[in-house]
């Protein structure tokens, strides 16, 4: 297919095909051969609850800037992410798609895609990691609402409207879809459970968990949002002024990891809320290993990022973090002075408040109940 400014999809993909006999998992930690075989416009099953199609949304939803950061993404998954957005979203809602190329080996992976209408490309001149890359994208975004996506997603039918609706009604809501699974082996699109929310343990390890039974029973309308203590991190919609007001991201976090906790605690404790909107579905290729290198090593980077989170947001409860992750004790994490200052200025609530009101299911390690310190 040839777009307005002459984007040659076939040539874009063909230039990066696997060599015969090459391990299809080596470069991206998913089966690139299977991804390359699929059309950038392939159809996927509408995995929403059957009540979702009859929900109606405001006729004047705000447009959004979609921000996708990537480091050495496969061309076939990157292109399918972009095209699924253009194919499955009313044009009036997409202000632009901002690709932030986090110093990938080949600048053309990003640059060639700017021949597709609405697609812009920013390239970092050194590896920054996903956190600073997203901030760079957010800073140039021209729409009032930001939408973040990973670079190996496929958005599903009417994915954006339910999220924009929630943010339009209340700009302090930060909203995620249900994240469906795209198989890393055969790229089958699989529906995820609609009864999950984001959770974590004291070591700040993210996990999907069942929504508490009382909430599950009280949920009579399957189209209504699910409150979530944390978001997975990659796919969410947030009002741009609210994102800026809250302090964007902690720009001293590197590469990958931890920023989802930091943002989630900040949103809840500083007057906002986090939710999963079940009528929005976005597929994502979940992987078992990182396909890219961490300049400071994977473990140290995760410690640095989660330690910064604990030091700024967890108050006296940070001791539980150190007990659960003793390797973090004594490790360098830079200065958090300006982040603590911002927290004070915004008059954010305590971590104790967060545990009592948002995540009472996270119990203290010794006493088996929250708020017992």
Q: Which residues bind ligand UD2 (CB under 6 A)?
A: 69-71, 73, 102, 127, 129-130, 133, 150-151, 179, 232-235, 255-257, 259-260, 284, 287, 290, 292
Q: How far is the CB of 226 from ligand UD2 (least distance, A)?
A: 16
- No. of H helices and E strands in the chain? 13, 12
Nearer to ligand UD2, 256 or 354 (CB): 256
What is the number of other CB atoms lying within 10 angstroms of the CB of residue 94?
A: 19
Q: Cα(218)–Cα(226) distance, rounded to whole angstroms?
A: 11
Q: How far is the CB of 223 from Mn ion (least distance, A)?
A: 26
User: 68 by DSSP, 3-state: which?
Assistant: strand
Q: How far is the CB of 345 from ligand UD2 (least distance, A)?
A: 26
Q: Cα(37)–Cα(100) distance, rounded to whole angstroms?
A: 25
Distance from chain centroid for Cα 54? 27
Nearer to Mn ion, 150 or 259 (CB): 150
Q: How far is the CB of 103 from ligand UD2 (least distance, A)?
A: 8
> 129 is in the binding site of which of Mn ion, ligand UD2, none (Cβ under 5 to 8 A by kind)?
ligand UD2
* Half-sphere exposure (Cβ direction) of 338: Cα atoms closer than 13 Å: 9
Q: How far is the CB of 127 from ligand UD2 (least distance, A)?
A: 6
Nearer to ligand UD2, 63 or 282 (CB): 282
Nearer to ligand UD2, 61 or 202 (CB): 202
Q: Cα(300)–Cα(294) distance, rounded to whole angstroms?
A: 9
Q: Cα(332)–Cα(48) distance, rounded to whole angstroms?
A: 45
Read off φ and ψ for residue 367, nearest 5 degrees. -95, -10
Pairing between strand 64-70 and 94-101?
A: parallel
> 83 is in the binding site of which of Mn ion, ligand UD2, none (Cβ under 5 to 8 A by kind)?
none
16 burial (CB, 10 Å; 0-12 / 13-18 / 19+) is middle
> 73 is in the binding site of which of Mn ion, ligand UD2, none (Cβ under 5 to 8 A by kind)?
ligand UD2
Nearer to ligand UD2, 164 or 235 (CB): 235
Q: E strands within the chain? A: 64-70, 94-101, 119-123, 145-149, 153-155, 173-182, 189-190, 196-200, 206-210, 226-227, 236-239, 273-284
- Under the rule (CB under 5 A), what is the footprint of Mn ion? 150
Q: How far is the CB of 150 from Mn ion (least distance, A)?
A: 4
Q: How far is the CB of 150 from ligand UD2 (least distance, A)?
A: 4
Nearer to ligand UD2, 89 or 260 (CB): 260
DSSP 8-state class, residue 8: B
Nearer to ligand UD2, 63 or 192 (CB): 192
> 348 is in the binding site of which of Mn ion, ligand UD2, none (Cβ under 5 to 8 A by kind)?
none
Residue nearest Mn ion (C-beta atom):
150
Q: Cα(26)–Cα(156) distance, rounded to whole angstroms?
A: 28
Q: Cα(54)–Cα(102) distance, rounded to whole angstroms?
A: 40
Nearer to ligand UD2, 71 or 343 (CB): 71
> 237 is in the binding site of which of Mn ion, ligand UD2, none (Cβ under 5 to 8 A by kind)?
none
> 162 is in the binding site of which of Mn ion, ligand UD2, none (Cβ under 5 to 8 A by kind)?
none
Q: How far is the CB of 207 from ligand UD2 (least distance, A)?
A: 12
> What b/e sequence results for 249-270 when a residue is b if at least 16 CB atoms lie within 10 Å of its CB, and e otherwise?
bbebbbbbbbbbbbbbbbbbbb
> 102 is in the binding site of which of Mn ion, ligand UD2, none (Cβ under 5 to 8 A by kind)?
ligand UD2
């Amino acid at each position: 297919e040839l777009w307005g400014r002459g984007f040659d999809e076939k040539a874009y993909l063909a230039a990066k095909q696997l060599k015969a006999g090459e391990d299809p998992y080596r470069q991206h930690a998913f089966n690139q051969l299977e991804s390359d075989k699929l059309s950038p416009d392939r159809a996927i099953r509408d995995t929403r609850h059957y009540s979702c199609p009859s929900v109606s949304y405001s006729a004047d939803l705000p447009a959004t800037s979609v921000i996708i950061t990537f480091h050495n993404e496969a061309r076939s998954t990157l292109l399918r992410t972009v095209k699924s957005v253009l194919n499955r979203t009313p044009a009036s809602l997409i202000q632009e798609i901002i690709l932030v190329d986090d110093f990938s080996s080949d600048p053309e992976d990003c640059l060639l895609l700017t021949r597709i209408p609405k697609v812009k490309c920013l390239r970092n001149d050194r590896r920054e990691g996903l956190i600073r890359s997203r901030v760079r994208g957010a800073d140039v975004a021209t729409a009032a609402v930001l939408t973040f996506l990973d670079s190996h997603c496929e958005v599903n039918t009417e994915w954006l409207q339910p999220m924009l609706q929630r943010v339009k009604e209340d700009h302090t809501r930060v909203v995620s879809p249900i994240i469906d699974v795209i198989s890393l082996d055969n790229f089958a699109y699989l529906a995820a459970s609609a009864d999950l929310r984001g959770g974590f343990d004291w070591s700040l390890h993210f996990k999907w968990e069942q929504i508490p039974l009382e909430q599950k029973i009280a949920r009579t309308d399957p189209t209504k949002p699910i409150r979530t203590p944390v978001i997975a991190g990659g796919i969410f919609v947030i009002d741009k002024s609210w994102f800026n007001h809250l302090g964007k991201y902690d720009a001293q976090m590197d590469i990958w990891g931890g920023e989802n906790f930091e943002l989630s605690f900040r949103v809840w404790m500083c007057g906002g809320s986090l939710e999963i909107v079940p009528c929005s579905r976005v597929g994502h290729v979940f992987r078992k290993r990182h396909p890219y290198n961490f300049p400071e090593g994977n473990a140290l980077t995760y410690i640095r990022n989660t330690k910064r989170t604990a030091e700024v947001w967890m108050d006296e409860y940070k001791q539980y973090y150190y007990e659960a992750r003793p390797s973090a004790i004594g490790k360098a994490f830079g200065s958090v002075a300006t982040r603590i200052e911002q927290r004070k200025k915004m008059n954010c609530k305590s971590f104790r408040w967060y545990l009592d009101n948002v995540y009472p299911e996270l119990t203290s390690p010794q006493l088996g109940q929250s708020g017992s310190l």
